[in-house]
Amino acid sequence: MLPVWAWAALRSYAPIVMLPVSFTVGLVGYNLEWWLRDSKVTDVESVGEARKKRQEEELYQAEFQLDKVDSIYKDKPKKTIFTD
């Protein structure tokens, strides 16, 4: 058990004591995670690549839909579209 003066010192200097302690704990945890993680999980598609692929697919679908709509209106005479 710590003497009373040690508890008083720890209580008053808690921010100064806890900064190096938390830094050390964080550093140890970061290095443990880096050491234990699987470094072969780099095959995952990045967010930017997934976004680019999705935009290309949406653009392709939009072009397909436009061609479909244009082909429908090409077959009809313009007079039926613009009647009063």
Task: Tell me the per-residue pLDDT of 28-62, one tens digit each, with 9 for 90 and over.
Answer: 999 998 888 876 666 677 888 888 998 888 877 77
Task: Tell me the per-residue pLDDT of 11-33, one tens digit each, with 9 for 90 and over.
Answer: 898 888 889 999 999 999 999 98
Q: Which two tokens stand for residue 65?
A: 């839909």
Give the model's pLDDT for residue 32: 93
Q: Measure the CA–CA gap between 5 and 18, rounded to whole angstroms.
A: 18
Quickly list H helices, 1-84: 4-12, 14-36, 47-75, 78-81
> What residue has token string 């720890």?
10
